[in-house]
Amino acid sequence: MDVLDPPSARLKPKRDTGEIAPSSVAARSLKRAPVRITDLSIKRLIPPVKGQRTYTDGTLPGFGVRVASSGTKTFVLVHGRNRRRITIGRYPTISLQEARARARELIAQRVLGKEDLPPIKFEDAIPIFLASQYPEHSLKPRTREEAARVLHKHFLPPLRFEVVSTINTDSVMRVVDRMRKTPSEARHAFAVVRLFFRWSERRRYVLRSPLWNVPPPKAAPPRERVLSQDEVKAILTAARASPSTYNRIVELLLLTGQRRGEIAGICREWIDFENRTITFPPKITKNRRQHTIPFGPRAEVLLREGHQRGCLFRGRGIETPFDGWSKGKPKFDRTCLLPHWTLHDLRRTFATNLAVLGVPVHVTEKLLNHISGTMAGIVAVYQRHTYQEEMRAAVERWERHVAVLMRANDALIPTCIDDHAGAQSRKPMDMMRQG
């Protein structure tokens, strides 16, 4: 280890030139000899031609200054049986007094028997967390993908080079606070990063999670919006104006009532055109249960327009489903000028419309793949009827209603056809705002 040159050394003359040079013994002792580091001596340190050079302090064992060829000067501490080097901070951002105090604190922690925390960076800890928390054969591949998305999108940019043990509460909550305009995403991101730091605590990367005893962001109030008659027509008109992937997905969401990830992830082999059914495998459904739904003639037209193999609505590859939501929605809204609506409103509108059309609630819940409500508890255990025929009648009735709606004059209140009673009853679409 290189050190500051002491004021004197044992010297001997060279035979050929008469110049005085340190003896080999003196040179070795000179190289190991520590000196007292002061602000003045730090300022006088000359950077090496290449690489780095470390100067140790004579008053505090293991403490020193590392000088890089670029001129950067950094306080370091080398201690422990394995002589592990800990970076304290750069000079003059951290003063000599502050660096010495931190070095003494680290030495005291070791003397008191406190465990050394590995200096792993946040960037390096993420893949370890994902691999251990969500193993390769885990039943939650989408959960792992979502956790990776949140960590890489929101937390990696500001915390990339931070050592996990040095990340504090403020650093994490600043990231969460920037998502206050999207409270659901903020709560989701908070849950993911809190799980990361709990895992880090178990791995002894941190002594205590920086989010310990920190409450999550407040939940957003549940949405209650059901699209009106004119809004449904406006969305369908915009969706049919251009045969884009996003537009076809929007119309299918309204016609089937399924979640956007399920429709976007449809593969050709899941579709039975002969029986007009789609069977979603457990890997793509929210409740991890296989879900089979019938579809009507208009939905069949949209499904046949998709790709003939692999993902029906592709992203960037054959096996990559569409995920361009952040660009697709704003582009769609430039054509469909409706304020403050979301794709999930289509699912709520679908369910409410079925109630107006007289569809029993348990049939609607089967279409939505709900395992709560009327299908929960003892019913879920013993009731195994698939309700395929009842669901088919419901979606075909809904498609006929949508067709009438699109053909009707904008000022005309549409007629809701009650198939079971065989009669027509006029019900204003404003009723759909209830529920």
pLDDT of residue 59: 86
Query: Picking from 163-167, 383-387, 424-428, which range would have the lowest pLDDT averaged per residue?
Result: 424-428
Q: Is the pLDDT of residue 429 over 60?
A: no
Q: Which residue ranges form the domains of the chain, and what is each CATH number?
A: 34-111 (3.30.160.390), 122-202 (1.10.150), 229-433 (1.10.443.10)
Mean pLDDT over 61-79 rounds to 91
pLDDT of residue 380: 53
Query: Picking from 19-23, 75-79, 191-195, 329-333, which range would have the lowest pLDDT averaged per residue?
Result: 19-23
For residue range 244-286, list pLDDT tens digits in order: 999 999 999 999 999 999 999 999 999 999 999 999 998 889 8
For residue range 292-323, list pLDDT tens digits in order: 999 999 999 999 998 888 899 988 766 788 98
Query: Picking from 39-53, 90-104, 380-394, which range would have the lowest pLDDT averaged per residue?
Result: 380-394
Selected residue with higher pLDDT from 115 and 345:
345
Mean pLDDT over 112-118 rounds to 66
Selected residue with higher pLDDT from 412 and 113:
113
Q: Is the pLDDT of residue 232 over 80?
A: yes
Q: Is the pLDDT of residue 27 over 60?
A: no
pLDDT band at 34 (very low <50, low <70, confident <90, very high): confident
Mean pLDDT of the chain: 82
Yes or no: say if 160 and 123 are a contact pair by the CB < 8 Å rule: yes
pLDDT of residue 108: 83
Mean pLDDT over 395-417 rounds to 71
pLDDT of residue 413: 38
pLDDT of residue 16: 41
Selected residue with higher pLDDT from 379 and 208:
208
pLDDT of residue 143: 83
pLDDT band at 431 (very low <50, low <70, confident <90, very high): very low
Q: Decide the pairing of beta strands 84-91 and 73-79.
A: antiparallel
Mean pLDDT over 2-12 rounds to 44
Yes or no: say if 391 and 293 are a contact pair by the CB < 8 Å rule: yes
Distance CA 377, CA 375 (A): 7
Q: Is the pLDDT of residue 410 over 60?
A: no
Distance CA 72, CA 2 (A): 16
The residues that bridge with 86 in the sheet, in sequence order, are 77
Is 0.75 topped by the overall pTM?
A: no
Mean pLDDT over 216-222 rounds to 84
Per residue, what are the HEC states of the chain? CCCCCCCCCCEEECCCCCCEEECHHHHHHHHHCCECCCHHHHHHCCCCCCCEEEEEECCCCCEEEEEECCCCEEEEEEECCCCEEEEEEEECCCCHHHHHHHHHHHHHHHHCCCCCCCCCEHHHHHHHHHHHHCCCCCCCHHHHHHHHHHHHHHHHHHHCCCEHHHCCHHHHHHHHHCCCCCHHHHHHHHHHHHHHHHHHHHCCCCCCCCCCCCCCCCCCCCCCCCCCHHHHHHHHHHHHHCCCHHHHHHHHHHHHCCCHHHHHCCEHHHEECCCCEEEECCCCCCCCCCEEEECCHHHHHHHHCCCCCCECCEEEECCEECCCHHHHHHHHHHHCCCCCCCCHHHHHHHHHHHHHCCCCHHHHHHHHCCCCHHHCCHHHHHCCCCCHHHHHHHHHHHHHHHHHHHHCCCCCCCCEEECCCCEEECCCHHHHHCC
pLDDT band at 383 (very low <50, low <70, confident <90, very high): low
Selected residue with higher pLDDT from 421 and 170:
170
Percent of the chain with pLDDT over 90: 54
Q: Is the pLDDT of residue 344 over 90?
A: yes
pLDDT of residue 31: 46
